[in-house]
Amino acid sequence: MLMAVDLVQVIDEWTTRITALAWALFLLTWSIGWALRGAPIPFSKVKRAGASLIEDSIWAAFWLAIGATIFKFITYLASLVAGALG
């Protein structure tokens, strides 16, 4: 039983770490995108790159929400299995 509880804790810990890392990467990309898009530079390629980063970060936020939900579901299943073994 101790091993099953440890597995649940490991899954939960990794879920939290991966989600936090993904959110940090999302916020970094989003802020860089807005900085490039709003920069007072006459280069349109730079502004388009900023807009592209913003669009990509919106998609990343969507997939982050989906991924976090799946990770939490896996943690829930692991805790059910650990409870059944105990």
Contacts for 73 with CB less than 8 Å, ≥ 6 apart: none
d(CA 38, CA 50): 8
Query: In this predicted structure, what is the pLDDT of residue 69?
Result: 83
d(CA 78, CA 71): 11
Query: In this predicted structure, what is the pLDDT of residue 47?
Result: 77
Query: In this predicted structure, what is the pLDDT of residue 2?
Result: 53
Q: What is the pLDDT of residues 17-76, one digit of tens each?
A: 888 888 888 888 888 888 877 777 777 777 788 888 888 888 888 888 888 888 888 888
Query: In this predicted structure, what is the pLDDT of residue 3?
Result: 63
Query: In this predicted structure, what is the pLDDT of residue 86?
Result: 60
Q: Is the dihedral of CA 69, 73, 79, 82 positive or negative?
A: negative
Band of the pLDDT at 5, cuts 50, 70, 90? Answer: low
